[in-house]
Each structure stands twice: as structure tokens, then as C-alpha cells.
């Protein structure tokens, strides 16, 4: 009997539907070997090529013993963990622990009978460059966490911790908050005019004054324009009609799916990924950790056949749509996220554990995949220009003439304009001016933060959910009305790290490190020299900051009340991961806390 090792019991159960009795399928339950969780110190030998001191996790000892027992009777051991760096690392550690056996590495991007059989026909070996990239990330994060966190304890506050990528994410939120605080609103005016024709009314917006765009910045200027418009003669000067096309979006990648989960369902990235993981492991969608827009030819053919049969040939573009991935690090061998069987809809998900949330996310993935292979939506766009002396005004209308890919999406908000004639004279009903002010930059929502991280090359899509959860759990940021706000302690940590370790927590440096990790995974760079280049200057900086770095004070809001517990400090308002609360100013000496109402 051959042994197949995967990560989770759900994945094992799904595989068992397709593999016969000649295979025993067992789950590793995720990572089995890692750096010590607690009390093990740094566990990295910085003087000997950063050798990690791995150990079997306490919670996995019984599981490892079971895998060793099963391995004794196995002719071949197939390592079928996920097709990414994390999965490759799990396969490596399982292989190391099981000792001398015949191992074969198999990967598949969807859990279907065809994909599994194909993977078993073409096994490989553990991809060591990918393992090294994951190991380098683990070592880097450990070095930062275990060397900088004690510095934060001494220079800011006890119990704090630093993260190589998480702290940069907090910096984004802090920088955005300070940008908002510095923002000065600028006044501007919009002027609309309501006009009457022979048997219709028309609302137009002022767009030009003379040859220049209409920019009215104060009330006095607006009054002069209003007076002129109330006296003006209005003539239809031009009518243009054109057909516009709207093309569908590409299929989902990991980051796009996380952003959609936030925007459409108000889900956290963590929740979206948990539901996607379950859908993948049950065989409903392809692998959900991907930054590629690539689609298999068979998948495109499946979609086009379904679209043509179900909706008609007019909903099919002349040729399949192909989408180019912008990310240089994208693995084109991977596919975008799509359903494994396009004929299956959300209500067909009947496996145990499937909920309405699973159905919602599945339907979203399915619709996006179907749309990306459908014809453009087409619209008639009409523009009417009205002249009033030196003023030019405009009205725009839009009418859908073919829904195309929008058949599976939102309906069009048509704006109908009346039939007018060039040269027609219109009469004034009223001038409708509105005073407005420019808005400050928006705070990051979860979707917005993911977009910014990806745009700057900070972290990777598979890490975003963990990054966002971590910075909230540590109390560095809080989410209010779907937007992230930095806490006082978050601002203090960012100020300290940027002041004393600005090179390491610079956006560009963090992005470059991700590029280096990609190069390690591709076998184009060695992991030890990469880590050495990071560690040597960091170690010197840490020593210097410990000796000369100034302590940072965490700003708090005073209530003016004496602490009822110690009678020494005063009650202040602090912000933690669950929002504002009352505390003693002498914390941690006095532990008094009280809910903030």
C-alpha cells in the first residue's frame, strides 16, 4: 500500500473519493516541525549560516508518531501538500522526520480525479529553492521579532513586539492618519442649470468658462457666474452619440478575492481565506493562493461551452480572453481561482460543513470566472453640449444596448436624455449652485490596505490575512466603521522603529526583501547570504539603539480624575485592540482598568 500525506483531514477525505484502496491517505495537520514556540529562545545559530534549530511541535508529536508507523508499511510515500512555499516546507519536514523511504512529491492545483491521476503519473521531488525561500522568511521574521521586541520593551513599553512586515503595515496606517490630520479642505463650487425645451426638461453642468475648465473656488466668484447664467441665452450647440464597450475583469487572484470578500460581504481577509481553503479542500475551486491570471485551456473551453449553450453564441467573444499577470513574481504554472466544475452553482454545495457563506463565495468566484470569458457589454453614450455665451454646459446619458458579461453581474444604471435638436433654444428654469469642499484621504479599509500592500510589493497575498489579524491582535490598530485607525501605542512603535531602524522598516526595503525571497524560490539567489546581508547591519543597529536610543512616550488622553486604585496616578483614556478603555497613567505599576463609556 502507498501512503499519501496531505495537510488536512478535509483534503484527505476529498482525495479518498478519487483514490482506490491501494492508497492510505493521512493528514499531517499542517506544520509538524518548526522553531520552538515558547521558551526556546532565538533557536537560530547566527554564527553558523543561520542554522535553524527545529523541533517537532508538542501538539504534533502523536501525529508524527502515527505517520512513522504508517510509513513502515508503505511502498511509496507521496507528499501531496499544497503547491506553494508553505506546502513545500511541510513536505520537506515530513520527509525529514520519516527518514529513509521512497518519497515522491506530487502537486495539483485542483482536487479532481483528472488532476490527481495526472499528478501521480508525473511525480517529482521536494523543491528545495522553495523550501529555502520559506525558511529564509521564517528566519528573517524570527530575527526581527526576537531582537527588536526586547528593545521595544525597554524603550517604549513592556509586552510589545515588532514584526518585519507587520510593523510596515502599521506604518502605512499611521502615515495615512497623519496625512488626514494635516489635510486642509479646499472650497469649490459645482453649478448645475435646469433648462426647459419644447416638451422636456434638461439638467446640465457647467464645465467650461471661456476656453478653460470651470474651476470656481469661492462664493464671490460663484455669485458672478450665477448672475451671468441667470441672464444668458441657452442654445444646444452639439450632440454626440457613440457606442461604448465595457470589458469584464480578470478572474480572481488571492488578493483580488480578499478585497472582494471585504467589499461585497464585509468579511475579513482571514475569513475569506478560511472559506476559500474549505472550498478548495472539498474540490469545488482551484488552489486559492495564487497571484496568476492564467487559466488552463481546458477550463476556458469548459466556460465557453457553458456560456454558448446556456446564454447563446452572442455572449461569447470571437476568441478566448487571456489575461496577463502584472506581478513579475507570479507563477504562471498556477491558475487563477476558478470553479473546478462550472456547471455547479452555490446551491449545489452539499458537502458536510458547507454553509451559506461557502455558497456565497463560491458563486462570486464562479460568476467572476464566467464573466471573464463573456462578451463585452455595449452602451449607447450621448453627450449634449449647451452654450450660454462664454459658458459651456454638458449633460451625459448612457443606455445599455447589450448586457454581455453584465448578465451575471449588476444591472446597468441607465441615464436617459431627451431627444434634442442642435441649435434649439432652451429656457432657464433655475441655476442650482452647490458649495463643496475637498475631502481628506480615506482611511484604509481592509480591501484598501490589501491593495496598498500589493501595490507596494509588501508581503505576499498569502500573508495578508495573517498580517491584518496580527496588527489588530497586538493592539496597534483598531477597525472602526470598516476603516483602520492607529492606536497611540501603534503610533509610538512606528515612531520608534522608523527613527531608529528606518532603513529596515522603509517601504522600499521591505518590498526588495520580498523580491529577494522570490529569487531564492526561483533558485536565482542563495538564502544564507541574503539573510546575512540583512542581519549584520541589524545586529549593529540594535546594539547602538540599546545604548543611545531615546525612550518614546505613548501619548494618552487625560480625564483629569485621580486613579481610584492607587490614588497616585490619574485616569487616562487608552486604545487597545477592542477600542478605547480607561486605565491608570502609572501602568504597568498600577493595573487599574475600566470600560470607556
Give the CA dihedral 51, 53, 59, 65, nearest 10 degrees: 90
**What gap in Å lies between CA 146 and CA 162, rounded to an integer?**
8
For CA atoms 555, 560, 564, 568, the dihedral sign is positive
Is the Cβ–Cβ distance between 203 and 234 less than 8 Å? no
408, 307 contact by CB (below 8 A): no
Does 315 participate in catalysis according to the annotation? no
For residue 386, whether the previous peptide bond is cis, meaning omega lies within 30 degrees of 0, is no
Residues 6 or more apart whose CB falls under 8 angstroms from that of 589 comprise 566, 569
Burial (0-12, 13-18, 19+ Cβ within 10 Å), 376: middle
Cα separation values, 392 from 171, 188, 225, 234, 431, Å: 46, 18, 12, 10, 14
**Of the candidates 23, 14, 16, 13, the residue with the CA atom closest to the CA atom of residue 110:** 14
Instruction: From 59, 76, 71, select the one nearest 22 (Cα to Cα).
Output: 76
Measured CA to CA, the distance from residue 538 to residue 544 in angstroms comes to 10
Residue 384 vs residues 191, 246, 387: alpha-carbon distances, Å? 16, 22, 10
Give Cα separations from 27 to 30, 108, 182, 358 (angstroms).
Answer: 8, 16, 53, 23
Separation between Cα atoms, residue 481 and residue 472, nearest integer Å: 15
Q: Which of 7, 13, 10, 3 is nearest to 27 (CA)?
A: 7
Strands 2-6 and 77-79, bridge-based pairing: parallel
At 482, give phi and psi (nearest 5°).
70, 5
Give me the catalytic one of 78, 287, 362, 391: 287
Strand partners of residue 252 = 337
Residue carrying C-alpha cell 526583501: 513
Nearest partner of 462 among 329, 321, 324, 322, judged by Cα? 329
The residues assigned a catalytic role are 287
Amino acid at each position: 500500500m502507498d501512503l499519501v500525506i496531505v495537510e488536512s483531514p478535509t483534503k484527505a477525505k476529498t482525495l479518498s473519493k478519487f483514490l482506490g484502496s491501494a492508497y492510505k491517505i493521512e493528514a499531517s495537520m499542517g506544520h509538524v516541525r518548526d522553531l520552538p514556540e515558547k521558551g526556546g529562545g532565538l533557536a537560530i545559530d547566527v554564527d553558523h549560516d543561520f542554522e535553524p534549530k527545529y523541533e517537532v511541535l508538542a501538539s504534533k508529536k502523536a501525529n508524527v508518531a502515527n505517520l512513522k508507523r504508517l510509513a513502515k508499511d508503505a511502498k511509496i510515500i507521496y507528499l501531496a501538500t499544497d503547491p506553494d512555499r508553505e506546502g513545500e516546507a511541510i513536505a520537506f519536514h515530513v520527509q525529514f522526520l520519516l527518514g529513509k523511504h521512497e518519497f515522491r512529491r506530487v502537486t495539483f492545483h485542483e482536487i479532481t480525479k483528472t488532476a490527481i491521476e495526472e499528478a501521480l503519473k508525473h511525480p517529482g521531488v521536494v523543491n528545495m529553492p522553495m523550501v529555502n525561500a520559506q525558511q529564509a522568511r521564517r528566519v528573517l521574521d524570527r530575527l526581527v521579532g526576537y531582537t527588536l521586541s526586547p528593545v521595544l520593551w525597554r524603550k517604549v513599553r513592556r509586552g510589545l513586539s515588532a514584526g518585519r512586515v507587520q510593523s510596515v503595515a502599521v506604518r502605512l496606517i499611521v502615515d495615512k492618519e497623519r496625512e488626514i490630520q494635516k489635510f486642509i479642505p479646499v472650497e469649490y463650487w459645482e453649478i448645475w442649470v435646469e433648462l426647459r425645451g419644447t416638451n422636456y426638461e434638461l439638467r446640465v453642468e457647467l464645465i467650461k468658462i471661456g476656453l478653460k475648465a470651470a474651476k470656481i473656488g469661492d462664493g464671490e466668484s460663484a455669485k458672478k457666474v450665477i448672475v451671468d447664467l441667470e441672464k444668458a441665452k441657452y442654445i444646444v450647440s452639439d450632440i454626440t452619440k457613440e457606442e461604448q464597450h465595457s470589458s469584464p475583469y480578470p478572474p480572481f487572484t488571492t488578493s483580488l478575492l480578499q478585497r472582494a470578500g471585504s467589499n461585497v460581504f464585509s468579511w475579513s481577509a482571514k475569513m475569506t481565506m478560511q472559506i476559500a481553503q474549505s472550498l478548495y479542500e472539498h474540490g469545488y475551486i482551484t488552489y486559492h493562493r495564487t497571484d496568476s491570471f492564467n487559466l488552463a485551456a481546458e477550463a476556458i473551453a469548459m466556460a465557453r461551452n457553458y456560456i454558448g449553450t446556456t446564454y447563446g453564441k452572442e455572449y461569447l467573444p470571437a476568441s478566448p480572453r487571456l489575461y496577463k499577470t502584472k506581478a513579475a513574481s507570479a507563477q504562471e504554472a498556477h491558475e487563477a481561482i476558478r470553479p473546478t466544475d462550472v456547471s455547479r452553482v452555490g446551491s449545489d454545495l452539499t458537502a458536510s460543513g458547507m454553509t451559506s457563506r461557502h455558497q456565497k463565495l463560491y458563486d462570486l468566484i464562479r460568476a467572476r470566472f464566467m464573466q471573464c470569458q463573456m462578451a463585452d457589454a455595449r452602451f449607447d453614450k450621448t453627450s449634449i453640449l449647451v452654450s450660454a455665451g462664454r459658458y459651456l454646459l454638458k449633460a451625459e446619458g448612457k443606455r445599455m444596448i447589450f448586457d454581455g458579461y453584465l448578465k451575471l453581474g449588476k444591472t446597468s444604471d441607465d441615464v436617459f436624455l431627451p431627444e434634442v435638436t442642435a441649435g434649439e433654444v432652451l429656457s432657464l428654469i433655475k441655476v442650482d449652485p452647490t458649495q463643496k469642499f475637498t475631502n481628506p484621504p480615506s482611511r484604509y479599509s481592509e480591501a484598501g490596505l490589501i491593495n496598498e500592500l500589493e501595490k507596494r510589493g509588501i508581503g505576499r497575498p498569502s500573508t495578508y490575512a495573517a498580517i491584518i489579524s496580527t496588527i489588530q491582535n497586538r493592539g496597534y490598530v483598531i477597525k472602526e466603521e470598516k476603516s483602520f485607525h492607529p492606536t497611540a501605542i501603534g503610533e509610538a512603535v512606528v515612531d520608534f522603529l522608523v527613527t531608529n531602524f528606518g532603513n529596515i522598516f522603509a517601504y522600499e526595503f521591505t518590498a526588495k526583501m520580498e523580491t529577494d525571497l522570490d529569487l531564492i524560490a526561483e533558485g536565482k539567489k542563495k538564502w544564507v547570504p541574503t539573510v546575512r546581508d540583512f542581519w549584520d547591519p541589524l545586529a549593529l543597529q540594535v546594539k547602538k539603539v540599546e545604548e543611545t536610543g531615546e525612550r518614546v512616550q505613548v501619548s494618552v488622553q487625560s480625564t483629569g480624575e485621580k486613579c481610584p486604585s492607587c490614588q497616585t496616578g490619574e485616569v487616562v483614556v487608552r486604545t487597545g485592540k477592542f477600542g478605547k478603555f480607561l486605565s491608570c497613567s502609572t501602568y504597568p505599576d498600577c493595573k487599574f482598568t475600566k470600560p470607556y463609556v
